[in-house]
Amino acid sequence: MTIISTFPFATASVQRFQQIVGEPVLCVTDPDAFLAQLHDAEILCSYWVPDNWRQLAPKLRWLQATGAGIDNLQHTGILAPDSGVLVTTAVGIHAASIGEYVFGSMLMFNRSWPEMVRLQDRHIWPRSASWYRLQGRELAGQTLGVIGLGHIGRRVAQLGRAFGMNVVGTRRSAQPGDKDPDVDLLYPASDLLAMLAHCDYIVIAVPLTSATERMIGEAELRAMKRNAYLVNVARGQVIDEPKLIQALQEGWIAGAGLDVVAEEPLSAESPLFSLPNVIITPHIAGENIHYEKRLADLFAENLARYTAGQPLQNVYDPNRGY
């Protein structure tokens, strides 16, 4: 059994894996070396695979993806039902860090923190908040809408309640009348427009699938309150980006916190960079000091299950698209 990882696990983690399977586990971060060793690989832990993986890795049986979203693998064919490869994701290991990121973005917007940092850089001490339109919004008592109640969305909902917010949400499988313990009101996906109209803050936490691509377009943006703040920690393609830019420029909504954009890296010419009501980060909401340990825990658990012939955690479902 040959096991290869492109993720640079710590030595202690690699030793742990080897104790579970009784075989060497190779961490190969050089792309050329990785491709050269794929021929005998049965198990692969990686964020990506080459398009010609069938030729390079004919013995591959299981791919443990190192990220939660694996839409980047769609074009390779490895996610197809007949690929012959079991694919598992790292969904769940980002929930804590992304949940905190979401509220960091909302709090920064509420207190005009980006503008205050710019004022500090210029050595300016405003005599009053009104001089530079510095905001003093609060989260308490406001309505938070969570689009997608998976691991991340659920954590966001829980934190919203801790801040004293009214929390509503949508879930793909929700039916009219269904309830959820982490939200005050659960909306079916078909009632998204109705939910958006009530929200002061909206967080997008859905996987990118054919059903969610551009799910936030002009109709959805116009349905939002003019004081609404939108946070996207899903994928940039979930939003119609030109319409979002128009909404931000024309005041359909108050602002947006974007950790993802439609095309990454974001072009230096994008108006998103200069809009004063936008907070942009380079797809790093899930990064944290515990990432290696959490991924190692998941991979170790799945290795134990694989060797024992038991069902694995976080198995990709081609029918759902995640």
Query: Peptide bond preceding 265: is omega within 30 degrees of 0, i.e. cis?
Result: yes
Distance from C-alpha of 88 to C-alpha of 313, rounded to nearest angstrom: 7
Catalytic residue among 137, 222, 283, 294: 283
Catalytic residue among 151, 155, 171, 235: 235
In the annotation, is 264 catalytic?
yes
Catalytic residue among 138, 213, 263, 264: 264
In the annotation, is 301 catalytic?
no
In the annotation, is 127 catalytic?
no
Q: Which residues are known to be catalytic?
A: 235, 264, 283
